[in-house]
Amino acid sequence: MLETKKLLSKAIAKVDVVMEILDARLPVSSANPVLDKLCKNKFKLKILNKKDLADPKVTREWLDYFKTGGKCPAVAICGLKKNEALQALNYCVDQIERNRARKVKVMVVGIPNTGKSTILNTLAGKKIAKTGNVPAITRHNQRTSLKNNIDIYDTPGILWPVIKPKERAYTLAASGAISDTAIDYNDIAFFAASLLIERYPELLQQSYPFLEPAPEDAMEMIEKIGSARGCLKKGGIINIQKASETLIRELRSGKIGNISFETATDLDSTNEII
């Protein structure tokens, strides 16, 4: 990771602008604090990707948050939609004073599984970068030449060594940014179920009609999902592991609905999620 940070620092020094790709469902937790220091002398646009999976009301609040006080310009997009990806790219390019004959160098950065390579493929109009619903697909810097004399660079996703508070780690794991082998599925599902019960009870009722009456706690919810989905062991005992995997899979895919894992009101005075 230290070597990747050094390489990223050198690469950023050679580009004109930086597009930081965040997960719209968790804009703070999916922002690598290292990038703020590495990009301090560069124009940087925060791109809240996967807005199609996030709660639209919460996403609007996040855009207002980033805009207020000039923290950093931000836009929300679905990386699979070319018009939205192009608008974000053009916004960056327009910030650069340049001779039209000189190429603009744009770097795409972000933590694993925020959709960097998907956005690159969308902009190029063809598959030139590996994508997947698992973290760390991109292994090396990749350069692509686009129209209008623009070079765009995709980079490996990096996470910081220590993730605090622990709720942030659970949020990242629930979204798929952290490998499923790093945190126990049961713990991730318990965190996700608690969040859904607290913030999205109506979506739960729509997606899981069998959760009636509404579960009182996360374990009851996971057990009901396991029972309804046939996640059973011999003797009809509920397989909590499989039930947890089912919940997380359906949460990540958007099957439960548009979910945001964190809101601007969750921030404390130090801009940490509480």
Domain boundaries, the chain: 2-160, 166-253
**pLDDT tens for residues 116-137?**
889 999 999 888 765 444 444 3
Give the pLDDT mean for 22-40.
87
Give the pLDDT mean for 26-35.
86
Given this model, what pLDDT does residue 141 score? Answer: 63
CATH architecture designation of domain 166-253: Orthogonal Bundle (1.10)
Same fold for the pair 2-160 and 166-253: no
Cβ atoms of residues 14 and 40 within 8 Å: no
Give, for 145, the enclosing helix (H) or strand (E). strand 142-146
Given this model, what pLDDT does residue 178 score? Answer: 82
**pLDDT tens for residues 47-57?**
999 999 999 99
Given this model, what pLDDT does residue 101 score? Answer: 75
pTM above 0.75, yes or no: yes
Torsion region of 148: left, alpha or beta (phi above 0 gives left; psi -120 to 50 gives alpha): left
Of 140, 139, 135, the C-alpha closest to 172 is 135
Give, for 189, the enclosing helix (H) or strand (E). helix 185-199
Cβ atoms of residues 226 and 250 within 8 Å: no
d(CA 253, CA 96): 37
Average pLDDT, the chain: 86
**pLDDT tens for residues 211-261?**
988 898 999 999 999 999 999 998 989 999 999 999 999 999 999 999 999
Given this model, what pLDDT does residue 133 score? Answer: 44
As a whole-number percent, the residues of the chain with pLDDT over 70 amount to: 87
Q: Is the pLDDT of residue 164 over 80?
A: no
Of 177, 106, 107, 181, the C-alpha closest to 136 is 177
In CATH, what class is 2-160?
A: alpha beta
End-to-end CA distance of the chain: 27
Given this model, what pLDDT does residue 136 score? Answer: 42
Q: Is the pLDDT of residue 163 over 70?
A: no
DSSP state of 99: -
Given this model, what pLDDT does residue 135 score? Answer: 40
